[in-house]
Amino acid sequence: RLLIIDFGSQVTQLIARRLRELNVYSEIHPYQNVTDALLREIAPRAIIFSGGPDSVTRAGSPRPPQAVYDLGVPILGICYGQQVMMQDLGGRVEAGEHATAEFGRAWVTPTGLQSELIEGWFTDAAGRAQVWMSHGDHVSEIAPGFEVLGTSPGAPFAITADRARRYYAVQFHPEVHHTPDGKRLYENFVKLAGFKGDWTMGAYREEAIAKIRAQVGDSPVICGLSGGVDSSVAAVLLHEAIGDQLTCVFVDHGLLRQNEAAEVVTMFRDHYNIPLIHADESELFLGELDGVSDPETKRKIIGRLFIDVFQNHANEIEGAEFLAQGTLYPDVIESVSFSGGPSVTIKSHHNVGGLPEKMGLKLVEPLRELFKDEVRALGRELGLPDSFIGRHPFPGPGLAIRCPGEITREKLDILRRADAVYIDQIRKHGLYDEIWQAFVAILPVRTVGVMGDGRTYDFACALRAVTSVDGMTADYYPFSHDFLGETATRIINEVKGINRVTYDITSKPPGTIEWE
């Protein structure tokens, strides 16, 4: 195992992510918990010190125990971790002044000293490597035994190594995207530490199950199931860990897609035998949404009702102490670390944040360390069908935000049928997996048409399909005209109530993916 000692960096989980990509198993432990006993238990083959926001020049700042240096295993210190290492081993660190602080892109050049750590590095045309710096303090004197492998104008000790003891320290963050060769550095490090790279998602599953059992003991656990990939994988994993101690609560707000509620119930209750409360509350939601057309008001109503309904049903589960959520790492990490700038509310996102406190429940978040693609891999490992795991994201407020203007049962019904035809078309043409998200929005206008010999006056709809990596930015999908024509014909022929189909070619920004 590889031990990552966390000193509080925003991006510590990314180190684990890079290691998982290399099929190396790592465990992150906050520095306060790294005791001699823990070190004995983990018996790490290598250690990484993460970055962190503190200053090693401050008395009482976070430190690892001396014992980590006595293990004789390779250590890699990153940013704050580098400074900790230097200070612990007899070097010097100076507190940040404006002139020496460094944030953002920098280029490191080699000094000519060889090391396994930097094999395959410095490969750009100028023989340098691009890195991402983010530090206030800096090392002013390296510890005895260390040598410099790479330097940058702002960081003379950008990469240093004590090659005999296999201690390595870098000033920049190799785990982030903006250090393109960063993964190579981790690869070199784990190789020199003797890892074979044979760890798999199957092993993750075992570890996750053990952790869940240790956390919840005998207590009943409630899990909010939405039918989306994340909550589904979380539910199946939890059920495997604690069996019928788990009860899922599925709030059906009447804004789901065609057959969706039935599919969720069949899969979880019948196929997986997971105790499931199907809270069919469409009357309540659609009643309160009646006559409402303002997008933010819709979102707020749905969010509020969802919490109420969830709470009512969860109260039926006696003695529950834990609430499980399919929170992923990107929900945890604040994107502030690399974007910055003021943010405004574009849309109030629907989630169940705040619920655990309100209900006095503790959180279980077994997917907290994973990225979307890893959740999918775990889902596959757990035997969830591919068609389910590969599903496009579906927003919490459901079809409400695909129905601009007032929501009526009639419009929802038309929307569901049009959406089903559209998705069927996309699947038939083998395009589903190339698209991040595709759906139909029903527009709040009726237009005139002619079908047969008669006049029609029906709804118009818009098809939406986008490519994206994370939903933050998106581009419209370039369907062929043949595909669009065929799809429009099918929708108009098969869905009574629609007589006009348009294709939305707005990117994000300036548009958003959903219509509201």
Note the residues at the interface with ligand XMP (CB under 6 A): 347, 349-350, 393, 395-397, 437, 471, 508, 512-514
Minimal distance in Å, beta carbon 226 to ligand XMP?
A: 8
Cis upstream peptide for 510 (omega within 30°):
yes
Q: Give yes or no for a contact between 66 and 31, defined as CB atoms under 8 angstroms apart.
A: no
**Burial of residue 359, with CB atoms counted within 10 A of its CB: 0-12 exposed, 13-18 middle, 19 or more buried:** middle
Query: Phi-psi category of 148—alpha, beta or left, where left has phi over 0 and alpha has psi -120 to 50?
Result: beta
Q: Give yes or no for a contact between 400 and 412, defined as CB atoms under 8 angstroms apart.
A: no
**Amino acid identity, position 448:** V
Element (H, E) at 86: helix 80-88
Find where tokens 């991402």 sit.
132
- 303 vs 379 by CB, closer to ligand XMP: 303
Minimal distance in Å, beta carbon 273 to ligand XMP?
A: 27
- 127 labelled binding-site residue: no
Cα separation, 79 vs 77, in Å, equals: 7
295: phi then psi, degrees, rounded to nearest 5: -60, -45
- 229 labelled binding-site residue: yes
- 61 labelled binding-site residue: no
Minimal distance in Å, beta carbon 406 to ligand XMP?
A: 19
- Which one of the listed residues 102, 135, 175, 516 is annotated catalytic? 175
- 419 vs 514 by CB, closer to ligand XMP: 514
**Burial of residue 451, with CB atoms counted within 10 A of its CB: 0-12 exposed, 13-18 middle, 19 or more buried:** exposed
- Tokens describing residue 102: 């460094």
Minimal distance in Å, beta carbon 274 to ligand XMP?
A: 22
Q: CA 71 → CA 43, 107, 160, distances in Å?
A: 9, 33, 20
Identify whether 79 is a catalytic site residue. Answer: yes
Q: Alpha helix (H) ranges present in 243-319?
A: 260-265, 282-289, 295-314
Minimal distance in Å, beta carbon 399 to ligand XMP?
A: 11
Which one-letter DSSP state was computed for residue 392? P
- 228 labelled binding-site residue: yes
**Burial of residue 233, with CB atoms counted within 10 A of its CB: 0-12 exposed, 13-18 middle, 19 or more buried:** buried
Identify whether 173 is a catalytic site residue. Answer: yes
- Tokens describing residue 92: 């010097």
- 255 vs 320 by CB, closer to ligand XMP: 255
Element (H, E) at 164: none
**Burial of residue 501, with CB atoms counted within 10 A of its CB: 0-12 exposed, 13-18 middle, 19 or more buried:** buried
Q: Give yes or no for a contact between 121 and 130, defined as CB atoms under 8 angstroms apart.
A: no
Identify whether 461 is a catalytic site residue. Answer: no
Minimal distance in Å, beta carbon 312 to ligand XMP?
A: 21
- 239 vs 350 by CB, closer to ligand XMP: 350
- 205 vs 253 by CB, closer to ligand XMP: 253
Cα separation, 306 vs 351, in Å, equals: 9
Minimal distance in Å, beta carbon 411 to ligand XMP?
A: 19
Residue 79: closest CA among 53, 114, 105: 53
- 55 labelled binding-site residue: no
- Which one of the listed residues 135, 138, 173, 239 is annotated catalytic? 173
Please report, in range form, the residues annotated as the binding site. 226-232
Active site residue ranges:
79, 173, 175
Binding residue ranges for ATP: 226-232
